[in-house]
Structure formats: structure tokens, C-alpha cells
Amino acid sequence: MEKYQLFVTKTVSTYFYLFTDTWYLVSHTSYIMKHKYPFQSISASTKEKQGDIQNIRIWLNHQPHIPPISDEFILLFLHSCYYSLERTKDTIDNYFTVRAQCSDLFKGRDAKFLMEQLEIYDMMGLPTLTPDKYRIVMYRLRDDDVNKFNYPAALRTFFAVNDMYISEDGLMDGYVVVFDMTGLSFGYLAKVSTQLSLVRNFMVYIQDCHPVRLKAIHIINTYPLIDKILNLIKPMMHGNLLEMIHLHPTLDTLSPFFPISLLPADYDGGKSEAVQVHQGKVTEVKRCCD
């Protein structure tokens, strides 16, 4: 258990808090008074899957390197793996192993750091689900000054914000990712290409550890740079992830996948501008840090 001390500081309850840089179990009663996290939509579903949960818990009893986790957290893994017990076991094992081995990417989640990073990037979970009940999560640059780009810091922010979304959403039917490449230049690629070990760690986590149902990745406003980016990451990608990627030089080819109206108003979508959606998410992140 020693190498996992980053993730667990106490085991007093059944709720596993996903967000702060020290992972811990928290009292439902005291914590719920401050926030609705974690897993606000999961607890009602655990009774329906007790057999699967107990199967995983029996297995966990023989995995001393994995810290204690709640029924709700087990159910999140089961759901993300479509209730395949073997896939769930592999994902849980990978999840804690990668977070321990790459701990620098999952710590330092204080409010000051995250607020500074979120002045550089938009990382927005859009409010309206797709017709298939999927959450759209959108990423783009807010500030395209490449001198401000720090790849390890960007990854730490990505993981922190995504942990918050998972905790909020609970058992989401699926996630659709939209990357807007506007503002990206070769300077960004040059910085990332010198840190390939971090790229590999990110790809391993997203494909083998992340407890969500990823449905599609849409890259919009693509430039010739996209070919170089894909050439960099393709050797690290599983075939099924590669099949999820869709390239869109313009928004015209995006509409067959989901209504454009679900995007911020900047994209001829909904009523709210991206800056308003982003600011709402920044407020949520700050509340999690307080």
C-alpha cells in the first residue's frame, strides 16, 4: 500500500472523492452539506447491481496494491466497461497503477494553479446532452500564445477537470469529445514532441484506465498540422480509438453526428457563448477546490 499513499488518507465512509490532489474517502453527511459530489447520480443504482459489485469486491480483497473504494466507485467502473467483470478488473487495476506511477499528473490541484490554467484553455462540459444522452466535452485554446503552453500543466488540468465531470455526471451513457484546433501552431507540436513519455502516459490512461464510455472524438477546424499530430500519436492508439476520430475542416460535416445547436453560440449553436459556458465550469472547479 505504501506507493499508493498519494491516493488514500482515510477510510471512514463509503464515498470516494475524485477531485483533490490527495485521494480520500469522505463522510457522506458532512461532505454533502458542502457539495453534491461525488457520484450524485450513482447511489440509487447500486442496489440493482449488488451481485456484480460484490464480485468485484471479492476480487479487490485479493489486490493489496489497490486502496479501498466505495460501491459507487466500483459501479462507475462496471458501467464504463459495460458490466464486463474482467474488463472492469483490468480497468481498476490499470487506473490505480497508472495514477501511482504517474503521480505528477494527478497532484497540485489547488485553486490558484487551476484558475491560471483555465485562463489558457477552455475545457467545457456542455449543458445539453445529445439525442443519444451523451455529454459533449469541448476543448480549445483561450490564449494562443505558445509561450504560455506547458504540456505537463495542461495534462494536470485536463485530468482534474475530467475527474470533476465524472463525479458530477455519474453513470453517463457516453461522452463525445470535441477538439477545436483554432489557434494551434507548429510551436505547440514542437513542445509536445519533446515529451513523448507524457504523451504515452496520457494515451494509456485514456484507453485503459479512464472510467467513462467514450463514444466519439471530433476534431474541428483542422489544419495541415493534424496530419503531423496523428502521425505522432497513432503508434500509441488502439484500433477502436482510431475509429472514433472524425476530422472536420468546417462545421458542415459535424451536423450528421449531433445537432450543432448543442454547441456554444460561437459555433451558431445554443444561447450561451463559449465564454459563459467556460466561466460556469471555472466556478464549479473553484468550488471543488475550496
Q: Rounded to whole angstroms, what are the CA distances from 208 to 40, 65, 115, 139, 194? A: 25, 18, 29, 21, 23
Angle at 223 between CA 218 and CA 228, to 5 degrees: 90
Determine the average pLDDT of the residues in 143-164. Answer: 94
**What is the rounded distance in angstroms from the CA atom of residue 254 to the CA atom of residue 273?**
19
Are residues 224 and 274 both part of a single domain? yes
Half-sphere exposure of residue 239: CA atoms within 13 angstroms, side-chain side? 0
Among 101, 136, 155, residue at a domain's last position: 101
What is the arithmetic mean of pLDDT over 13-31?
Answer: 34
Question: 190 and 124, same structural domain?
Answer: yes
Task: Kindly tell me if the per-residue pLDDT of 226 is higher than 60.
Answer: yes
Contact 106, 152 (CB under 8 A): no
Q: 105-109, 235-239, 259-263 — which is least confidently predicted? A: 105-109
For the cut 70, the answer to whether the pLDDT of residue 14 exceeds it is: no
Kindly report the average pLDDT of the chain as a whole number: 82
pLDDT of 5 higher than 60: no
Domain shared by 201 and 137, yes or no: yes
C-alpha cell read off for 233: 500519436
> What are the φ/ψ torsions at residue 246 (nearest 5 degrees)?
-130, 130
Domain shared by 87 and 144, yes or no? no
Residues 264 and 139 in one domain: yes
Stated pTM of the model: 0.82
Greatest C-alpha distance within the chain: 53
HSE-CB of 129 using CA atoms within 13 angstroms: 10
Residue where a domain stops, chosen among 46, 67, 101: 101
Mean pLDDT is lowest, of 61-65, 177-181, 203-207, 262-266, for 262-266
